[in-house]
Amino acid sequence: MSTPQEAAVAPKAGTGFWKDNLRDYGMLISLVVIVIFFQFATGGILLKPLNVTNIVLQNAYIVIMALGMLMIIVTGHIDLSVGSVAGFIGGLAGLLMVRWGINLPLAILTCLVVGGIIGGIQGYFVAYFKIPSFIVTLAGMLVFRGFMIAILGSQAIGPFPPIFQKLSSGYLVELISSDGGIYVTSFIIGLIVAALMVWQNFRSRARRVLHDVESEPMAFFVAKNVLVFAAIAFVAYLISSHRGLPNVMIIMAVLIVAYGFFTNRTILGRQIYAVGGNARAAELSGIKTTRLVFWTFVNMGVLAALAGLVVAARLNSATPKAGTGFELDVIAACFIGGASAYGGVGKVTGAVIGAFLMGVMNNGMSILGIGIDYQQVIKGLVLLGAVCVDVYNQRR
Partner 1 sequence: MLDPVLSAAEKPPILEMRGISKSFGAVKALSDVSFTVREGEIHALVGENGAGKSTLMKVLSGVYPHGSYEGSILFGGEERQFRDINDSEKLGIIIIHQELALIPLMSIAENIFLANAPSRFGVIDRDTRYLRTKELLAKVGLTEAPETLITNLGVGKQQLVEIAKALSKDVRLLILDEPTASLNETDSAALLELLKEFRRNGITSIMISHKLNEITEVADRITVLRDGRTVGTLDCHEGAVDEDEIVRRMVDRDLESRYPARTPKIGDVIFEVENWSVYHPQHSHRQMVKNVSMQVRAGEVVGISGLMGAGRTEFAMSVFGRTYGRDITGTVKIHGKEADTSNVHRAIKAGLAYVTEDRKQLGLILAEDIRKNVSLAHLGGVSSSGVIDDIREMKVAQEFRTRMRIRSHNVYQETGKLSGGNQQKVVLSKWLFTGPDILILDEPTRGIDVGAKYEIYSIINELADAGKAVVVISSEMPELIGTCDRIMVMHEGEFVGEVAGEEATQENIMRAIMRRKGR
For 199-260, give the DSSP string: HHHHHHHHHHHHTT-----HHHHHHHHHHHHHHHHHHHHHHHHHT--BHHHHHHHHHHHHHH
Q: How far apart are CA 396 and CA 165, in angstroms?
A: 50
Minimum separation from the CB atom of position 392 to partner 1 (A)? 17
Contacts of 245 (CB under 8 A, 6+ apart): 171, 172, 183, 186, 189, 190, 239
CA dist list (Å): 1 to 66, 295, 321, 351? 15, 27, 31, 10
Of 105, 286, 369, 392, the residue at the interface with partner 1 (CB under 8 A) is 286
Q: Please identify, using beta-carbon distances, which residue of 179 and 212 lies nearer to partner 1.
A: 212
**Residue 8 contacts partner 1 per CB under 8 A:** yes
Of residues 238-277, those binding partner 1 (CB under 8 A):
265-268, 270-271, 273-274, 277
**Residue 348 contacts partner 1 per CB under 8 A:** no
Looking at residue 18, its amino acid is W
For 100-166, give the DSSP string: S---HHHHHHHHHHHHHHHHHHHHHHHHTS---HHHHHHHHHHHHHHHHHHHHTTS-B-PPPHHHHH
Of residues 50-69, those binding partner 1 (CB under 8 A):
none
Q: Please identify, using beta-carbon distances, which residue of 14 and 146 lies nearer to partner 1.
A: 14
**Residue 16 contacts partner 1 per CB under 8 A:** yes
192's enclosing H/E stretch is helix 184-210
**Residue 296 contacts partner 1 per CB under 8 A:** no
Of 4, 87, 190, 344, the residue at the interface with partner 1 (CB under 8 A) is 344
Of 114, 282, 293, 333, the residue at the interface with partner 1 (CB under 8 A) is 282
Q: Please identify, using beta-carbon distances, which residue of 91 and 276 lies nearer to partner 1.
A: 276
Helices 348-367 + 372-395 axis angle, to 10: 150
380's enclosing H/E stretch is helix 372-395
Helices 104-127 + 162-169 axis angle, to 10: 60
**Residue 323 contacts partner 1 per CB under 8 A:** no
Please provide residue 194's backbone torsions phi and psi, each rounded to the nearest 5 degrees: -60, -45
Q: Please identify, using beta-carbon distances, which residue of 130 and 211 lies nearer to partner 1.
A: 211
Of 103, 285, 376, 393, the residue at the interface with partner 1 (CB under 8 A) is 285
**Residue 335 contacts partner 1 per CB under 8 A:** no
Minimum separation from the CB atom of position 265 to partner 1 (A)? 5
Minimum separation from the CB atom of position 204 to partner 1 (A)? 9
Q: Which range binds partner 1 by CB under 8 A, 127-135, 184-192, 211-219, 373-381?
A: 211-219
Of 195, 214, 230, 380, the residue at the interface with partner 1 (CB under 8 A) is 214
Q: Please identify, using beta-carbon distances, which residue of 110 and 278 lies nearer to partner 1.
A: 278
Of 207, 218, 227, 230, the residue at the interface with partner 1 (CB under 8 A) is 207
3-state secondary structure 295-356: HHHHHHHHHHHHHHHHHHHHHCCECCCCCCCHHHHHHHHHHHCCCCCCCCCCCHHHHHHHHH
**Residue 202 contacts partner 1 per CB under 8 A:** no
**Residue 130 contacts partner 1 per CB under 8 A:** no
Q: Please identify, using beta-carbon distances, which residue of 99 and 288 lies nearer to partner 1.
A: 288
Q: Please identify, using beta-carbon distances, which residue of 20 and 199 lies nearer to partner 1.
A: 20
Please provide residue 171's backbone torsions phi and psi, each rounded to the nearest 5 degrees: -130, 160
**Residue 392 contacts partner 1 per CB under 8 A:** no
Which residue ranges make up the site for partner 1 (CB under 8 A)?
8-9, 11-12, 16, 20, 207-208, 211, 213-214, 265-268, 270-271, 273-274, 277-278, 280-288, 344-345
